[in-house]
């Protein structure tokens, strides 16, 4: 599937359009292969690939946000010096 229209109007270099076209063709093949699988292999693929990827992405995002808050000096409400003691 060649990239035309808006991409060409935007003035992207031909090499970028070639790479994007290749990625889109690859993704179309993966999508076709995945949709032709039965339900059980799709669920197994989800459990073996997608869930660990999402878990690691969440860990990286949590770590990045923690570092940003540490850099900005953010304190949790429970860490405030004037927090009231529970009675």
- Is the model's pLDDT at 9 over the cut of 60? no
Q: What is the mean pLDDT of the chain?
A: 82
Enumerate the H helices of the chain as residue ranges: 6-9, 14-36, 39-45, 51-72
Domain ranges of the chain: 1-36, 38-77
Distance CA 54, CA 59 (A): 9
| pLDDT on residue 10 | 65
Query: Confidence band (pLDDT; 50, 70, 90) for 73?
Result: confident
pTM: 0.50
> Assign residue 2 a region: left if phi > 0, alpha if psi is -120 to 50, beta otherwise?
beta
Q: Higher confidence at residue 8 or residue 47?
A: 47
pLDDT for residue 41 is more than 90: yes
């Amino acid at each position: 599937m060649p990239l035309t229209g808006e991409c060409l109007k935007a003035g992207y270099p031909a090499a970028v359009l070639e790479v994007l076209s290749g990625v889109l063709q690859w993704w179309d093949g993966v999508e076709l292969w995945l949709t032709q699988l039965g339900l059980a292999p799709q669920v197994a693929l989800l459990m073996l690939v997608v869930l660990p990827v999402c878990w690691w992405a969440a860990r990286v995002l949590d770590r990045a946000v923690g570092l940003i808050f540490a850099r900005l000096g953010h304190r949790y409400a429970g860490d405030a010096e004037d927090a009231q003691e529970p009675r």
